[in-house]
Structure 1
Amino acid sequence: MLSFLTARQTGVDDPVRLRRAESTRRVLSLELNHDRDVERIHGNGVNCIDIEVIEGRYMLSGGSDGVIVIYDLENSSKKSHYTCKAVCTVGRSNRHVHKFSVETVLWYPYDTGMFVSSSFDKSMKVWDTETLKPADVFQFDGNVYCHHMSPIARKHSLIAVGTKDPKVQLCDLKSGSRIHFLQGHRGEILSVRWSPRYEHILATASTDGRVCMWDVRRAAGSLFTLDQYNGDKSKASSEAVNTAHNGRVNGLCFTDDGLYLLTTGTDDRMRLWNSATGHNTLVNYGKVVNESRKGVKFTVSRGCSPEFVFMPCGSSVAVYGLYTGELVTTLRGHYNNVDCCEFHPDYQELYSGGKDCNILAWVPVLRQPDVEDEGKKGGAQAAVNPAFEDDWSSDED
């Protein structure tokens, strides 16, 4: 690390290189924090968590008991051992609480005064954080598996919603109504994800094994459907439609720059795609056990070189190299299956929730490494950074 500091002081290296090297070192040293507890509120499994990006201080969680909790992650006690307390809770006694399992919770990207939750009670609720009352409620005909808001949108306020219906539904926060349906899937929609690069680009995954890429400004149909065989008809099945996985596709995650898309399915495979062309990069992650009938909430690191994937696998979280497919390490600490994990980019920390009703904090361990070895290791890691040459050719259309 001293070699990076020296190079930065002399002007040899860009400051971004030092920051990425340190972020990478911190992610590689993640361990369960025994000095930080997250208050246990949920009486059943934790299905989803989300950390707001405004201050990076407040975390949402939703559980199988229908309860929603807001935690304060800041150490206000200034003690070495502390507990992240629940600031407020939408509990079973609240008349507005979801009746069944909460599948997704999401902060409004620009303000902590609002968040959105969806549930198996066939509803999606837009909450006022101050009053803990729904400002708007969207009702659907079937279970709601997922929803997502664009983290960068300025020209629209759409929420993409996946339900038992094969049509992807777009709800407008401004008008409070469902304004459009995206038709192309043949099964339940288990995951939806807006691109962090282009505000009108949406990825959707279904039980039919397909992943579709949409430009919501175009009503004709999807831009393209991901093909795991990259157009090689000799390897494809007899069916005319392209499939991303040989089973249900229940997880989607864009890289932070939006250039790549990760998918996971019940065929125990995880795949990395070029999000502009739909090309399967053929990165081999090995067998990634996935038996979930619902959506899988996994995440990707930010600010590292190279980046890493955090994937719930049984009662642990598997950490993979994003571009190499290498299993870097396995984080063990839960007593039951892990259902979700969320990366905190400000501190390179990870939070995971599982069926054991616990939310665990994984933090970098501050060791005193050998100066020369650390400099060499950091330099090697920082040098690994793939060139992103592809882009959306139709962005200016």
Structure 2
Amino acid sequence: MESNATAHTLLGHKDEIWTLDWAPTSEFVLATGSRDGEIRLWDIRRSGATACLLCLNYEGKANVPGRSQLYTNVTREKPMSVSTAATARKRRRIGGAFEAQARDQQKARLRVDSHQNKMYASVNRQKRNDPHAAASTSLVVAHNAGVTSLVYTPDGRFLLSNGMDEKLRLWNATSGEHQFMNYQGVQKTQPRASRNVQMAVAQEGEAYETTLMFIPNGLEGAVASYRVFGENGIPLGSASAHYQQVTACLYRKSTRELYSAGEDGLIMKWKPPPVDLYPDMAEDVNGNDNMQHDGLNAGTAIGDEDTWSDDDDDEERMSQFVPPILRDNA
């Protein structure tokens, strides 16, 4: 960092990179997305373009960069020399003085052909395979427009991508295969000043039921939430408090809080509404539980109310035994 020197270079993208994310399960795996819609997975333990593991394809299976006859090791046919072509068509007379002349001409042609072969071998000789050139080219894309955001699920099994084509896509992080999940209502978010748009993923309990994602949605400052493995792809909800588009979302698992930042310079903190586990119970100021049910005590069933009165208390007191010393003499 102090010397501003490049320690490692990954080659392969043909356009500027807009977003990237590190795999949470491996410190060597990196995902990058570019302006031309490409998403590549890299292993940084390799160098150059050979570090590219997969190129994601929205049509299905990911593309593995080739290591064969791309730009290199192309078989070229040897051109026929003029003397060889002339010899094939010329009818020579063998015998007498013409025989010695024919031998001399043949030797001269062999010397010329040998020289031409050496020149051809030095200029047009086959080159060995260049894996860097082979791995730097891919014809598949993950989005039909620029990739604005990439984020792994917390367990590292899946990768989510958002693009300028208003598509939110789910990928298998290991094989790179497109999962064909449909998310409705996704709107385009335009990054500015070469800045990516950051999504957030929350995962608690079982991954299939509790994995949620929060994405900046549209240009009006809205944040939409989706269930990653939802059946219908309908957003769970949308919240709007920013005056301009949201550029980043961050989820804090310890406190279950969501933070959002927008181009209006504001940072918002979102918390889920409190959940009342006992809706029929209300706690008063002193901490005592007042249980009410239709104006009656909730702990007392209807029809089981006490019907005692003051007269019953008087009769109860009269029936009690009183010692003579305490009795009134009057």
1:307 corresponds to 2:211 = yes
1:223 corresponds to 2:53 = yes
1:322 corresponds to 2:220 = no
Is contact 2:61-2:176 (8 Å) kept?
no
Equivalent of 2:143, from 245, 251, 261?
245
1:207 corresponds to 2:108 = no
Q: Quick one: distance in 2 between partners of 1:362 and 1:248?
A: 29
1:186 corresponds to 2:90 = no
- 1:231 is displaced (CA, Å) by 4.6
For each residue in 1:91-133, what CA deviation from the matched residue of structure 2 results, as whole angstroms up to 9, or x when unmatched? xxxxxxxxxxxxxxxxxxxxxxxxxxxxxxxxxxxxxxxxxxx
- 1:138 is displaced (CA, Å) by 6.6
Note the residue ranges of structure 1 that are not aligned, 5 or more in a row.
1-135, 140-176, 234-238, 373-397
Give the structure with the higher percent helix: 2
Q: Which amino acid aligns with 2:153?
A: T
Q: Which has the higher contact order (CA 8 A, sep 6+)?
A: 1
Aligned residue pairs total 195
Q: Quick one: distance in 2 between partners of 1:320 and 1:231?
A: 24
Q: Quick one: distance in 1 between partners of 2:275 and 2:176?
A: 41
For each residue in 1:249-297, what CA deviation from the matched residue of structure 2 results, as whole angstroms up to 9, or x when unmatched? 1110000011100001100001010000001111101241123133111
Q: Quick one: distance in 2 between partners of 1:138 and 1:337?
A: 36
1:284 alignment counterpart: 182
TM-score (norm. length: structure 1):
0.46
CA 1:240–1:180 in 2, change beyond 3 Å: closer, same or farther? closer
- 1:299 is displaced (CA, Å) by 0.8
Q: Quick one: distance in 1 between partners of 2:175 and 2:168?
A: 18
TM-score (norm. length: structure 2):
0.55
Q: Quick one: distance in 2 between partners of 1:254 and 1:368?
A: 32
Q: Which amino acid aligns with 1:316?
A: A
Equivalent of 1:263, from 161, 170, 177?
161
2:311 alignment counterpart: none
2:270 alignment counterpart: 362
1:91-106 aligned within 5 A = none
Q: Quick one: distance in 2 between partners of 1:178 and 1:198?
A: 22
Q: CA RMSD in A?
A: 2.3
Q: Quick one: distance in 1 between partners of 2:13 and 2:140?
A: 11
Is contact 2:244-2:262 (8 Å) kept?
yes
Q: Quick one: distance in 2 between partners of 1:215 and 1:367?
A: 44
1:1-397 aligned within 5 A = 136-137=1-2, 139=4, 177-219=5-47, 220-231=50-61, 241-293=139-191, 294-304=195-205, 305-314=209-218, 315-324=221-230, 325-369=233-277
Q: Kindly, what percent of the aligned residue pairs are identical?
A: 32
Q: Quick one: distance in 2 between partners of 1:319 and 1:338?
A: 13
Is contact 2:222-2:238 (8 Å) kept?
yes
Is contact 1:313-1:338 (8 Å) kept?
yes
Is contact 1:316-1:331 (8 Å) kept?
yes
Note the residue ranges of structure 2 that are not aligned, 5 or more in a row.
64-136, 281-330
Is contact 1:259-1:276 (8 Å) kept?
yes
Q: Which amino acid aligns with 1:226?
A: L
Task: Classify the secondary structure of the residue corresponding to 1:178.
Answer: coil
Q: Quick one: distance in 1 between partners of 2:37 and 2:159?
A: 16
Q: Quick one: distance in 2 between partners of 1:284 and 1:370?
A: 36
